[in-house]
């Protein structure tokens, strides 16, 4: 296991910018901490964190070309905001280049940007770790969200989606259908329905 981690880190160091590599280390470690607090498998969480942004530093045009080449479907929103593709291309590379066969790890990588309804603990761990890792400093309510991550992970997912959607609306960025669907799913637990 440790051997595999060393090789992956070495490879990522070549593929990512120094800032992105640093972020990746922060996410991987935060995944371990969240896995501990939930009694989930620490190594699998670490691996998901390690590989989640492995496709992030591929130029946008190349992201599109590579998805097309490998028949990964691209939505209209993804053509408008190609950076979104780093999640599905990342899951693809995790399987093909890093030989990850664990479907839950691959799916956690695939949905780490938009989330998806009814995520498993591992998927939520990565989704949350990506947002709260120690190197992050810009998001609103970061302190509250960090505290919540170790109390109620599901509520934490809801808080992140709420702030992300507000941020995207304010910036006028197109919203991926999956981000909206994920929010609708998680809000039902925490907002009273009329």
Instruction: Report in angstroms how near the CB of residue 130 gets to Fe ion at its nearest.
Output: 4
Dihedrals phi, psi of 193, to nearest 5 degrees = -90, 140
Report the sign of the C-alpha dihedral through residues 171, 174, 178, 184, in that order.
positive
In contact, 78 and 84? CB cutoff 8 Å: yes
- The rounded distance, in Å, linking the Cα atoms of 88 and 145 is 26
- The rounded distance, in Å, linking the Cα atoms of 146 and 126 is 13
Closest to ligand DGI by CB, 130 vs 148, is 130
- The rounded distance, in Å, linking the Cα atoms of 88 and 76 is 15
- Check binding of 78 to Fe ion (CB under 5 A): no
> What is the Cα Rg of the chain in Å?
16
Residue 30, binding choice from ligand DGI, Fe ion, none, Cβ under 5 to 8 Å by partner class: none
Of residues 123 through 162, those in contact with ligand DGI by CB under 6 A are 130
- Check binding of 176 to Fe ion (CB under 5 A): no
- Check binding of 112 to ligand DGI (CB under 6 A): yes
- The rounded distance, in Å, linking the Cα atoms of 129 and 153 is 10
Stretch that binds Fe ion, among 7-15, 95-103, 129-137, 146-154 (CB under 5 A): 129-137
- Check binding of 78 to ligand DGI (CB under 6 A): no
- The rounded distance, in Å, linking the Cα atoms of 27 and 49 is 5
Instruction: Report in angstroms how near the CB of residue 104 gets to ligand DGI at its nearest.
Output: 18
CA end-to-end span of the chain, whole Å? 50
CB atoms within 10 A of CB 139: 15
- Check binding of 107 to ligand DGI (CB under 6 A): no
- Check binding of 123 to Fe ion (CB under 5 A): no
Question: How many residues make contact with Fe ion (CB under 5 A)?
Answer: 2
Q: Between 28 and 67, how does the x/- string for binding to ligand DGI read (CB under 6 A)?
A: -------------------------x--x-----------
* Chain positions contacting Fe ion, by CB under 5 A: 53, 130
* Chain positions contacting ligand DGI, by CB under 6 A: 23, 53, 56, 81, 84, 112-114, 130, 164, 168, 173-176, 179
């Amino acid at each position: 296991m440790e051997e595999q981690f060393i090789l992956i880190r070495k490879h990522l160091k070549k593929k990512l910018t120094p800032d992105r590599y640093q972020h990746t280390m922060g996410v991987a470690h935060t995944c371990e901490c969240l896995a501990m607090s939930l009694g989930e498998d620490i190594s699998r969480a670490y691996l998901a964190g390690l590989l989640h942004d492995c496709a992030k530093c591929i130029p946008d045009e190349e992201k599109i070309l590579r998805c097309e080449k490998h028949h990964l479907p691209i939505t209209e929103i993804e053509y408008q905001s190609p950076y979104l593709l780093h999640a599905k291309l990342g899951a693809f590379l995790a399987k093909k280049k890093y030989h990850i066969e664990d479907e839950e790890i691959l799916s956690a990588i695939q949905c780490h940007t938009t989330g998806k309804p009814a995520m498993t603990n591992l998927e939520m761990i990565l989704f949350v770790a990506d947002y709260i890792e120690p190197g992050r400093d810009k998001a609103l309510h970061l302190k509250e969200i960090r505290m919540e991550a170790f109390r109620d992970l599901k509520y934490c997912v809801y808080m992140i989606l709420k702030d992300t959607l507000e941020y995207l609306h304010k910036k006028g960025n197109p919203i991926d259908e999956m981000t909206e669907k994920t929010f609708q799913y998680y809000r039902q637990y925490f907002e009273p329905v009329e």
